[in-house]
């Protein structure tokens, strides 16, 4: 596969899966000490990667769960943030200014900050109350953080007796790295075709629902916009028919991520409508990937992870056909703002 090292990839994602026990211990300790709520408070694109786990807790657990943009939390505050709070702060670099400021603000309120870092020896790793470390970079970070934060949510539900089969689910998750490589291999030819189709297109709508919606939003903002300078409109599938459908014309590109689980019917509606107008509906369906040994309930949980894995293949081909390296920036970390 183009610009892909499967051995390295499996090593990184296996490292994320191996954090299941440390995560369970850290979360269990905080809950035993009387933790009253959890905040997922990231900065930038990596913040999206924690939101499927937050959504899982909000829909399947009674443990109070909050999501915050770190910079906004600092200037606006939240009355629920305090000594009983667990704050989850993911970061690949461990040096993002907003993330460091969020960590310091949360600690000033008495919260326990758990950082998930992709780089050792960084401010976010060293300033944290608890640091969970797994080396990763942009091309492996999405799956890494989606998996780690899912393990955090599962640990909370397990400790509170809100899930009966934690061990079985985690055992299945431990097999994911190799399965994701297989999914990448399956999708790679289609990724190459899509990259050719999209090479000269400058406008897209990307949509999904459930936990997969956050991966759609992430891919639109952080990859197509930031890394390829392509105008992209992420919209939740449930909102597609509340405004965005008026933008659909014969040549409108709509990228639809169809995940699994209860919210799939929301993406079914988009799939039914768009072809009545546009000739450019691009569907990526997680059901099309075998994922041998993964139960249906776990497949629903990991749809965002599957999309992150296969969309990396699209990114790899896009940078080649567009002659635009994914690392090229005009402003980010290049100018003051």
* pLDDT tens digits, 77-126: 999 999 999 999 999 999 999 999 999 999 999 999 999 999 999 999 99
Distances in Å between the Cα of 26 and the Cα atoms of 20, 51, 160, 215 are: 10, 20, 14, 26
Sequence-distant (6+) residues with CB within 8 A of 2 are 188, 192, 313, 316, 317, 320
Residue 4, token pair as written in the block: 């892909």
Residues 276 and 185 in one domain: yes
Task: Report pLDDT for 334.
Answer: 86
State whether residue 282 is helix, strand or coil: strand
Domain that holds residue 307: 176-321
Pairwise CA distance, residues 11 & 116, whole Å: 17
Residue 141, token pair as written in the block: 């970070």
Provide the domain count of the chain: 2
Assess if residue 278 is contained within a domain: yes
Task: Report pLDDT for 55.
Answer: 98
Distances in Å between the Cα of 335 and the Cα atoms of 43, 91, 92, 160, 175 are: 18, 20, 20, 46, 42
Q: What is the pTM of this model?
A: 0.97
Residues 122 and 189 in one domain: no
Among the candidates 173, 193, 220, a domain finishes at 173
Residues 72 and 202 in one domain: no
Residues 9/181, Cβ–Cβ less than 8 Å:
yes
Task: Report pLDDT for 332.
Answer: 85
Q: How many CA atoms lie within 13 A of 189 on its CB side?
A: 2
Give Rg (Cα) of the chain: 19
| Lowest-confidence pick of 38-47, 255-264, 305-314 | 38-47
Share of the chain above pLDDT 90, in %: 96
Assess if residue 333 is contained within a domain: no
From the list 2, 1, 10, the residue with the least C-alpha distance to 326 is 2
Reported as a pLDDT band with limits 50, 70 and 90, residue 211 is very high
Residue 154, token pair as written in the block: 């599962």
Give the start-end residues of each E strand in the chain. 37-42, 65-69, 85-91, 112-117, 130-133, 203-208, 231-236, 253-258, 280-285
Residues 288 and 180 in one domain: yes
Distances in Å between the Cα of 291 and the Cα atoms of 10, 134, 306, 328 are: 15, 24, 9, 34
Residue 168, token pair as written in the block: 């079985």
pLDDT, mean over the chain: 97
Q: Is the pLDDT of residue 337 over 80?
A: no
Residues 10 and 132 in one domain: yes
């Amino acid at each position: 596969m183009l610009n892909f090292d499967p051995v390295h990839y499996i090593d990184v994602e296996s490292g994320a899966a191996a954090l299941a026990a440390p995560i369970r211990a850290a979360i269990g300790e905080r809950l035993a000490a009387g933790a009253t709520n959890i905040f997922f408070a990231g900065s930038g694109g990596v913040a999206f990667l924690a939101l499927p786990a937050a959504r899982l807790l909000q829909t399947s657990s009674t443990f109070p769960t909050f999501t915050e943009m770190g910079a906004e939390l600092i200037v606006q505050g939240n009355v629920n943030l305090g000594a009983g709070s667990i704050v989850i702060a993911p970061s690949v670099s461990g040096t993002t200014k907003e993330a460091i400021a969020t960590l310091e603000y949360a600690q000033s309120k008495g919260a326990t900050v758990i950082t998930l870092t992709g780089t050792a020896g960084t401010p976010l790793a060293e300033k944290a109350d608890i640091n969970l470390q797994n080396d990763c970079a942009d091309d492996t970070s999405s799956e890494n953080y989606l998996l780690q934060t899912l393990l955090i949510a599962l640990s909370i539900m397990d400790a509170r007796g809100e899930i009966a089969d934690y061990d079985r689910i985690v055992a299945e998750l431990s097999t994911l790295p190799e399965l994701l490589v297989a999914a990448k291999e399956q999708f790679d030819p289609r990724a190459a075709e899509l990259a050719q189709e999209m090479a000269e297109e400058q406008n897209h709508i990307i949509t999904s629902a459930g936990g997969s919606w956050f991966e759609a939003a992430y891919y639109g903002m952080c990859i197509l916009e930031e890394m390829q300078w392509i105008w992209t409109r992420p919209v939740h599938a449930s909102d597609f028919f509340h405004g965005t459908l008026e933008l659909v014309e014969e040549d409108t590109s709509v990228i639809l991520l169809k995940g699994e689980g209860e919210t799939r019917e929301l993406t079914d509606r988009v799939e039914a409508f768009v072809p009545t107008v546009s000739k450019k509906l691009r569907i990526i369906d997680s059901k099309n990937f075998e994922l041998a040994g993964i139960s249906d309930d776990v497949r629903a949980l990991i749809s965002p992870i599957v999309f992150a894995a296969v969309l990396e293949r699209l990114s790899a081909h896009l940078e080649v056909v567009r002659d635009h390296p994914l690392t090229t920036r005009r402003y980010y970390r290049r100018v003051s703002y």
